[in-house]
Amino acid sequence: MDSGAFCVACGAQPPLTSKRLCEACLRVRTTFSKVPDRIQQERCAKCSKHEVEKRWVNIDDADLGEHRLRENLDVVSGATEVAVDVAYQPIDERTARLHVTVEGQLEGYDFADEHDVLIQTSNAVCPACTRRAGAYFEATMQLRSAGRRLSDEELKSLRGTLDELLDEAESDPMFFITKEGPVTGGWDLQLGSKSLTKTWARRLVKRFGGTIKESATLVGMRDGMEVTRLTLSYRKPAYALGDVVRLKRQNWLVSAWQKDGPTLSRLEHNQRTGVSWRDMEKASVVCRLDDQKVVDILNRDSSGAEVMDPVDYRVVTVALPYDDEGSGASLRIGFIDDSWMALPGHVAED
Ligand SMILES: [Zn+2]
Ligand SMILES: [Zn+2]
Distance from C-alpha of 256 to C-alpha of 148, rounded to nearest angstrom:
22
Q: Residue 45's pLDDT is what?
A: 92
Q: What CATH number did the domain enclosing 75 receive?
A: 2.60.40
Cα of 45 to ligand 2 centre, how many Å? 7
Boundary of a domain, candidates 178, 209, 240 = 209
Element (H, E) at 38: strand 38-44
Residues 115 and 154 in one domain: no
Boundary of a domain, candidates 126, 160, 180 = 126
Residues 302 and 327 in one domain: yes
Cα of 247 to ligand 1 centre, how many Å? 96
Residues 51 and 119 in one domain: yes
Distance from C-alpha of 294 to C-alpha of 242, rounded to nearest angstrom:
13
pLDDT digits (tens, 9 = 90+) for 236-262: 998 999 999 999 999 999 999 998 999
pLDDT bin (cut points 50, 70, 90) of residue 176 is confident
pLDDT digits (tens, 9 = 90+) for 269-299: 999 999 999 999 899 999 999 899 999 999 9
Boundary of a domain, candidates 189, 209, 229 = 209
Q: Is residue 246 part of a domain?
A: no
Distance from C-alpha of 282 to C-alpha of 273, rounded to nearest angstrom:
16
Cα of 125 to ligand 2 centre, how many Å? 5
Cα of 16 to ligand 1 centre, how many Å? 8
Q: Is residue 100 part of a domain?
A: yes
Cα of 136 to ligand 2 centre, how many Å? 14
Q: What CATH number did the domain enclosing 198 receive?
A: 3.30.310
> How many domains does the chain fold into?
4
Provide mean pLDDT across the span 310-315: 93
Residues 111 and 164 in one domain: no
> Ligand nearest 10 Cα, by number?
1
pLDDT digits (tens, 9 = 90+) for 9-37: 999 999 999 999 999 999 999 999 999 99
pLDDT digits (tens, 9 = 90+) for 74-83: 999 999 999 9
pLDDT digits (tens, 9 = 90+) for 206-231: 999 999 999 999 888 888 888 889 99
Distance from C-alpha of 153 to C-alpha of 284, rounded to nearest angstrom:
20
Average pLDDT of every residue of the chain: 91
Q: Is residue 235 part of a domain?
A: no
pLDDT digits (tens, 9 = 90+) for 146-171: 877 888 888 999 999 999 998 886 66
Residues 141 and 101 in one domain: no
Residues 73 and 147 in one domain: no
- Domain extent at residue 296: 292-350
> Ligand nearest 5 Cα, by number?
1
Cα of 227 to ligand 1 centre, how many Å? 66
Q: Which residues sit with Cβ closer than 5 angstroms to ligand 2, an ion?
A: 44, 46-47, 126, 129
Q: Is residue 77 part of a domain?
A: yes
Residues 46 and 114 in one domain: yes
Residues 117 and 187 in one domain: no
Cis peptide before 15 (omega within 30 of 0): yes
pLDDT bin (cut points 50, 70, 90) of residue 232 is very high
